[in-house]
Amino acid sequence: MISQYSGISPKGDLILLQRIGEKLKGRSFLHINSTRAGGGVAEILHRMIPILKDLGIDARWEVIEGDERFFDITKKIHNSLQGNFENITEDMWQYHYEVNRRNAERLNLDADAVLIHDPQPAPLIEFRKSGKWIWRCHIDVSNPIKEVCDYLRRYCERYDSAIFSIAKFARAMGIDEFIIPPSIDPISEKNRELTDEEIQETLNKFQITKDRPIILQVSRFDRFKDPIGVIKAYRIVKKYNDCILVLAGSPATDDPEGEVVLNEVKEYAADDPDIHVLLLPPFSDKDINALQRRATVIIQKSIREGFGLTVSESLWKGKPVIGGATGGIPLQIVHGVTGFLVHSVEGAAFRVRQLLNNPEMTKRMGEKGREHVRKNFLITRQIRDYLSVWYAMENKGESVLEL
């Protein structure tokens, strides 16, 4: 399977990946998160686990189970960590812990390395049996509500180490902390090359015309992704450039707010025939791929963002991206080179018009964006980094480069 990435991923990444894989061959690596469908974490794990197994590592992926109340609480925790105040009572924290306790009884937590993704399963550290435990934070914690951050920290400080997507998310927790950005899989259904017929099939399915420029945002229906702001920007652009807007996203089973935000977006779109609001079923990877390849301009106008995998997906397809200047987006968008960073609706509209009116510049920036992703944001690099952290934790003082 690793051989499939030859000629795509940087050669150095593949060499190091195979060497460290040989060192960890036969060892067990457990990942735990809160959903198998919806969102970047699940998407990465679907692709990562088979590659880890191909390297000879005994990789497993478990998902914690919870009821509606549990996921309502964890969404409030998520929102608070991203800076929006939510009232989280002691009783809610206790329920968060209790659901994790029940999951600990059900799950096999025995592994040489355990990687816990995000706040939902963070209390599982209380039930560790063996191995190295790592907490992986995928969300934007640059400006959290202090009380919520401090409470969660009680669990996080008990891990052996923590991983964040960018440096400014790291917290001084008294444990080893590592910076590892997420990644995309270039040969997955969402990122592979498509034929013109495959792209047209998707456009026909959603009754999207191909004779006008398409502005696209792909994201969960979440207020932090600012879909209303995207519509506002589109309406400014529409005064000068004939175009259509597509807002596409899939539901996440651990996000109870998704339906509410979707309805807000539909209401704000106000039956504009040139606004397509698409709620895609989970695993609509080929359709998302086709929409990104057909789009003229792609936006990710987040106001908080852990990383924003859709930015790398779009850059990989040779499309410059206009993104909110927040979280992990500036890692991917080199302003004026691979896209534009914006701070307002008006700024987004200005940059959309700039790209619509300058096709040569759009093409040039798209080519640079693809190469930027190839060097920095492919899944082979992320697996290399995860295994390097695990190896370094077990072999203090020995550099991975000495393998």
Residue 387 and residue 372 share a domain: no
Give domain status of residue 191, yes or no: no
Q: What percent of the chain has pLDDT over 70?
A: 98
Residue 172 and residue 251 share a domain: no
pLDDT at 171: 81
Residue that has been written with the tokens 């397509």 in this structure: 276
pLDDT at 168: 86
Q: Say which residue, 398 or 295, is predicted with more confidence.
A: 295
Residue 239 and residue 372 share a domain: yes
Residue 382 and residue 344 share a domain: no
Per-residue pLDDT, averaged over 109-117, amounts to 97
pTM confidence score: 0.92
The confidence band for 402, taking pLDDT boundaries of 50, 70 and 90, is low
Q: Say which residue, 109 or 252, is predicted with more confidence.
A: 109
Q: What is the DSSP letter of 77?
A: H
Residue 340 and residue 395 share a domain: no
pLDDT at 403: 55
Cβ neighbours of 301 (radius 10 Å): 25
pLDDT at 174: 86
Give domain status of residue 393, yes or no: yes
254 pLDDT exceeds 80? no
Report the distance separating Cα 224 and Cα 387, nearest Å: 31
Give domain status of residue 188, yes or no: no
256 pLDDT exceeds 90? no
pLDDT at 29: 98
Report the distance separating Cα 44 and Cα 183, nearest Å: 7
pLDDT at 172: 77
Q: Which of 251-260, 324-333, 394-403 has the highest mean pLDDT?
A: 324-333
Residue 392 and residue 327 share a domain: no
Report the distance separating Cα 139 and Cα 119, nearest Å: 9
Q: What percent of the chain has pLDDT over 90?
A: 87
Give domain status of residue 108, yes or no: yes
pLDDT at 397: 59
Closest CA to 370 of 321, 297, 323: 321
pLDDT at 78: 94
118 pLDDT exceeds 70? yes
Q: What digits encode the pLDDT tens for the residues 67-77?
A: 999 999 999 99
Q: Say which residue, 140 or 339, is predicted with more confidence.
A: 339
Q: What digits encode the pLDDT tens for the residues 345-387?
A: 999 999 999 999 999 999 999 999 999 999 999 999 999 999 9
Domain count, the chain: 2
Give domain status of residue 189, yes or no: no
The confidence band for 401, taking pLDDT boundaries of 50, 70 and 90, is low
Give domain status of residue 260, yes or no: yes
The confidence band for 87, taking pLDDT boundaries of 50, 70 and 90, is very high
The confidence band for 173, taking pLDDT boundaries of 50, 70 and 90, is confident
What is the number of residues in the chain?
Answer: 403
Q: Which two tokens stand for residue 5?
A: 């990435």
Report the distance separating Cα 24 and Cα 26, nearest Å: 6
Which parts of 214-299 fold into alpha helices (H)?
A: 227-238, 258-269, 285-294
127 pLDDT exceeds 70? yes
Residue 385 and residue 363 share a domain: no
Beta carbons of 58 and 27 less than 8 angstroms apart:
yes
The confidence band for 252, taking pLDDT boundaries of 50, 70 and 90, is confident
Residue 214 and residue 159 share a domain: no
Residue 393 and residue 343 share a domain: no
Give domain status of residue 190, yes or no: no
pLDDT at 58: 97
Residue 330 and residue 394 share a domain: no
CATH number for the domain spanning 397: value is 3.40.50.2000
Residue 204 and residue 58 share a domain: no
Beta carbons of 369 and 339 less than 8 angstroms apart:
yes
Kindly report the backbone phi and psi dihedral angles of residue 328, in degrees, each rounded to the nearest multiple of 5, phi listed first: -90, 0
Its domain, for residue 78, covers 2-183+378-402
**Amino acid present at 270:** A
Give domain status of residue 107, yes or no: yes
Closest CA to 119 of 146, 141, 87, 143: 141
Residue 207 and residue 173 share a domain: no
Q: What digits encode the pLDDT tens for the residues 11-63?
A: 999 999 999 999 999 999 999 999 988 778 999 999 999 999 999 999 999 99
Kindly report the backbone phi and psi dihedral angles of residue 108, in degrees, each rounded to the nearest multiple of 5, phi listed first: -90, 105
Mean of the per-residue pLDDT values of the chain: 94
